[in-house]
Structure 1
């Protein structure tokens, strides 16, 4: 069971970290870069990104992190690495809030931008950009912070889990059950006297 929890924690850490890195990259690189571009470039780029990102490479960690973190919390609650449980619960709550931000704000804004049509056919590109850019960017920063906090919690849970694993000494069970040997100095009354048969020889 410990091996199952370790594997689950690793999967949860990896998937949560991938999402934190993705949304953080949009916050400090992609959107600031597009902010310096023209209306047509921003609208065209974001429409292309919104279509391209809907693939298994993105969806698997984005959705899969939730059952991974949830399963790790259940295993911890059952008694395997119980000290990691509070951090797992915190990570799950933070991730779910971030997931709600994406589903409730960023995705509807993406859909709204797609419905505006192709940039060459949009009469008021500046208006479309204004309705999309500021709000999308702000809430992306919010979800990036939430995902990063969730990643920090799940990483610490993994560390706590590793710290509370039983330590195996060289020799395994044989070393645990070996009879204790006490050394006494020569001439001590505790030293066993040689048998009479030995002395006769």
Structure 2
């Protein structure tokens, strides 16, 4: 039973790291590159990215991170010491904040940009100015929060390993009377 709980924590760590990397990648490469583009290219590319990213892999990771994080926290909570509980809870809490930023700010901005219409038929400057700066700031915020989630889950793994390594080792098969253990 502890194996699947540890597996959920490993999965939480990996998923939060992947999501942090995605958002950070946008922050330090995609958006600075698009900033140098004209309004038409910026709007068209962001509209296309916002459609392409809603795919089964992204959605599985994005929402699956919440699921495996909750499984890890709930599964390991009972047997954990207070330090481990704090870091588990922090990892899940930071992940929830990232979900809130994404669903409450970034996605509505994506929807607003999509609703602006075809880049060949709209005021591109107005569509871009209503989107770009706010989206970039909140993307950086969710990247930072997601890095904190990743770090918290990673530290939880370290603490869990320390707890397991300090626990007394029990022979898998009890020794018969008069015989040495395995």
1:17-32 equivalences in 2 (<5 Å): 17-32=17-32
Report if the CA contact (8 A) 1:119-1:125 is conserved. yes
Q: Structure 1 length normalisation: TM-score?
A: 0.81
Residue in 2 aligned with 1:187? none
Residue in 1 aligned with 2:34? 34
Residue in 2 aligned with 1:51? 51
Residue in 2 aligned with 1:126? 125
Give the drift of 1:172.
6.6
1:65-80 equivalences in 2 (<5 Å): 65-79=65-79
More relative contact order, 1 or 2 (CA 8 Å, 6+ apart): 2
Give the drift of 1:81.
6.2
- Give the direction of change, closer, same or farther, for the CA distance of 1:65–1:81 in structure 2 (3 Å limit): farther
Report if the CA contact (8 A) 1:17-1:148 is conserved. yes
- Give the direction of change, closer, same or farther, for the CA distance of 1:53–1:72 in structure 2 (3 Å limit): same
Q: Structure 2 length normalisation: TM-score?
A: 0.90
RMSD: 2.2
Distance, in Å, in 1 between the alignment partners of 2:59 and 2:17 is 14
Distance, in Å, in 1 between the alignment partners of 2:83 and 2:169 is 20
Unaligned runs of 5+ in 1: 180-201
Distance, in Å, in 2 between the alignment partners of 1:72 and 1:150 is 13
Report if the CA contact (8 A) 1:13-1:151 is conserved. yes
Give the drift of 1:169.
7.8
1:82-161 equivalences in 2 (<5 Å): 83-122=83-122, 124-161=123-160
Output one character per residue of 1:51-83: Cα deviation in whole Å (capped at 9) or x when no partner: 000011101111111121111111222215664
Indicate the SS of the match to 1:120. coil
Distance, in Å, in 1 between the alignment partners of 2:35 and 2:49 is 15
Distance, in Å, in 1 between the alignment partners of 2:173 and 2:35 is 62
4+ residue segments displaced more than 2 Å:
80-83, 166-174
Indicate the SS of the match to 1:119. coil
| Structure 1 position 6 matched with structure 2 position 2 | no
